[in-house]
Amino acid sequence: MEVRNNYINGQWQASVSGATREVINPSNGEVIALVTDSVAEDSKQAIAAAKAAFYQSGAWRRMAGPKRADLLLRIADAIAARADELAVMDTLDNGKPLREARCDVDDAAACFRYYAGLITKPQGGVYEVSDGFGPMHAYSMHEPVGVCALITPWNYPLLMAAWKLAPALAAGNAVVFKPSEVTPLSAVALFEIFHQVGLPAGTANLVLGSGPAAGQELAASHDVDMITFTGSTRTGQTIAAAAVGNLKKVGLELGGKSPNVIFADADLEGAVEWAMIGVFFNQGEVCSAGSRILIEESIKDRFVARLAERARAMSIGPGMKDPDMGAIVSAAQLEKVLGHIERAKQQGATLVCGGVRHTAGECAKGYFVQPTIFDNCTRDMDIVREEVFGPVVAIQTFTSEAEAIAMANDTPYGLAGGVFTTDGARALRVVKEIRAGVTWINCYNPTFNEAPWGGYKMSGYGRDLGVNGLLEYQQVKQVNINL
Ligand code: NAD
């Protein structure tokens, strides 16, 4: 089987470790590819290449914004040209339904287009300043941060890559990218595209390998000026601690346990529809998943009955067959999800549906879990407090708006939250009170390249996407001119 390698300084090369790692199709447990398994030395080489590209050659950072934009647009076109192939890659690698992988590919291409456009718009400002020193003129300019390390998780392999690489490259940085070792394939394809469009050597480097072996060096190295990370809160803490040595800039997009608050006056069918998307889309492996449904007591029974009816009707199967729900990404994640389910049962939550591994028919060897609903959950239960990152939802009830808000905020996380009501003023009041970086009213989970994404509290800091997403990868220089 051909081995996919690192891409460092414009060259494909195997890890100095000589080791390889198997990439598994979670739908059937079969090995679909081999990738080189990097260690700290590979990351050091990639960092050195990025440092030379940024500080010595400077070809990319000195290139005019519109020229960089041209290359980003060619990257977007190349992604679109390989869309079917890339979608199959993410489906085989991650387990998600093919049509959802295809949406990820379209969104990834659009992300490169968005930042290609944004970098051609005005950057910086001109200031009226006091004339105590005589006539002065001041302006500011946005410059790239330098060498940026980017680390992503496995739930949206290509899309998470695009969220970070597009703005980092648009801003003129040199990057070292480490995708999740669980889902590395579409990252390799993306770097083939970078090579094909002719990014200057060393501008974008790819290191394939595990977090502790290959990722840690990216966080600790004093030659890295910035690290942005999407993944679990625990890993985020490790990265932030390692990054302190040279005070590199840090951006963290972490986990969540997001509340989906549904009032009695909500359109019930609409709320059920969005709650399904909120918690079962992408097998529930979504950082913003509405995994705590807080529902007004008077409509709870009707809502739960309808949600369970919909959940039981979901088709489950290999992503390539385009079911409603695909496989959990790995055997390890499957065990984690099943562990959460068992603990919820032991701690007294009422299992409404699901709650078991799904092994029927062609799912026998894959890592499938039935969509799972727990009712009568209480605040002390792990299922209410801990991120599952699987198709499992905990239901709790409230009787007043104030109680709903207090329950919504009763979590160390603050990534997302939703509100369902036909009372517009209440929707705005509640959304304002929810301590989270991303909120939805009468919908759940839609995400846009144009709008900033990120968390409060232990869901991290910094923003992906939107104008804020570009600013993260820039620093601002003040220029004062003595007239
Ligand atoms: P993870 O933290 O285990 O791994 C994420 C990435 O970090 C991987 O590339 C991994 O190799 C790397 N890594 C692990 N240890 C490292 C270390 N010590 N140093 C450097 N890198 C290291 O997370 P995961 O299991 O891949 O993804 C699931 C998590 O990601 C969930 O908690 C989820 O909420 C979160 N997530 C957040 C967002 C967001 O936007 N906030 C989006 C997607 C996923």
> Would you state the pLDDT for residue 131?
80
Closest residue (by CA) to atom 13 of ligand 1?
Answer: 211
Residue nearest to ligand 1 atom 16, measured at CA: 211
Complex prediction ipTM: 0.96
* Residues 6+ positions from 122 with CB-CB distance below 8 Å: none
The whole-angstrom separation of Cα 81 and Cα 83 is: 6
Q: In this structure, are 68 and 147 located in the same domain?
A: yes
Q: Do 207 and 337 belong to one domain?
A: no
CA of 255 to the centre of ligand 1 (A): 8
- Positive or negative torsion for Cα 357, 362, 367, 369: negative
Are 386 and 423 in the same domain? Answer: yes
- Candidate from 39, 180, 233, 235 with most ligand 1 atoms within 8 A of CB, to mutate: 235
Cβ of 230 less than 6 Å from ligand 1: yes
So what's the pLDDT on residue 351? 98
**Contact of 82 with 193, CB cutoff 8 Å:** yes
Atom nearest to 415 CA in ligand 1: 41
Q: What is the CA(271)–ligand 1 centre distance, in A?
A: 30
Q: Which atom of ligand 1 is nearest to the CA of 182?
A: 26
Total number of domains constituting the chain: 2
**What are the average pLDDT values for consecutive 10-residue runs of the chain, which has 483 residues?**
96 98 98 98 98 98 97 98 98 98 98 98 93 90 98 98 98 98 98 98 98 98 98 98 98 98 98 98 98 98 98 98 98 98 98 98 97 98 98 98 98 98 98 98 98 98 98 98 93
Q: Is 403 a catalytic residue?
A: no
Q: Rounded CA gap, 456 and 276, in Å?
A: 24
* Candidate of 150, 183, 287, 330 to mutate for ligand 1, largest count of ligand atoms within 8 Å of Cβ: 287
Ligand 1 within 6 A of 387 CB? yes
Flag whether 367 is in a domain.
Answer: yes
Residue 449 lies in a domain: no
Asked if the structure places residue 446 within a domain, the reply is no
Q: Name the residue with the closest Cα to ligand 1, atom 12.
A: 211
d(CA 153, CA 148): 17
Instruction: Tell me, using a 6 A CB cutoff, whether residue 154 lines ligand 1.
Output: yes
What is the pTM for the complete model shown?
0.97
Rg, Å, the chain Cα set: 23
Residues 207, 269 share a domain: no
Residue 199 counted as domain residue: yes
Kindly state whether residues 183 and 287 are assigned to the same domain: no
Strand partners, 151: 178, 229
Residue 120, in any domain of the structure? yes
Residue 448 resides in a domain: no
Domain annotation covers residue 153: yes
231 within ligand 1 shell (Cβ under 6 A)? yes
Q: What is the pLDDT of residue 133?
A: 86
- Judge if 149 and 17 occupy the same domain: yes
Here the tokens at position 324 are 């409603």
- Cβ contact 81:109 at 8 Å: no
- The verdict on the CB of residue 215 being under 6 Å from ligand 1 is yes
Question: Is any atom of ligand 1 closer than 6 Å to the C-beta of 180?
Answer: yes
Per-residue pLDDT at 417: 98
Question: How many Å lie between the centroid of ligand 1 and the Cα of residue 53?
Answer: 27
Q: Is the CB of 178 under 6 A from ligand 1?
A: yes
In this structure, the residue with its CA closest to atom 31 of ligand 1 is 232
**Of 217, 253, 296, 472, which is the active-site residue?**
253
Q: What is the CATH number of the domain that holds 424?
A: 3.40.309.10
Task: Identify each DSSP E strand in 409-473 by its residue range.
Answer: 413-414, 416-420, 438-441, 456-457, 460-461
Do 271 and 404 have their domain in common? yes
Residues 305 and 329 placed together within one structural domain of the fold: yes
CATH number at residue 198: 3.40.605.10
- Comparing CA positions, the residue from 405, 357, 413, 355 lying closest to residue 384 is 413
| 286 shares a domain with 348 | yes
Through-space distance between the first and last CA atoms of the chain, rounded to whole angstroms: 67
Residue nearest to atom 6 of ligand 1 (CA): 153
d(CA 138, CA 479): 6
Confirm whether 142 is domain-assigned.
yes
Structural domain that includes position 214: 3-254+455-479
Is 417 found in the same domain as 306? yes
Are 304 and 226 found together in one domain?
A: no
**SS3 at position 233:** helix
Tokens of 146: 């330098």
> 176 with 147: CB under 8 angstroms?
yes
Are 406 and 248 a contacting pair, CB within 8 Å? no
Burial of 69 (0-12, 13-18, 19+ CB in 10 A): buried
Taking the centre of ligand 1 as the mean of its atom positions, its distance from the CA of residue 219, in whole angstroms, is: 13
State whether 151 and 268 are in the same domain: no
Give residue for tokens 């919908």. 443
Q: How many Å lie between the centroid of ligand 1 and the Cα of residue 135?
A: 52
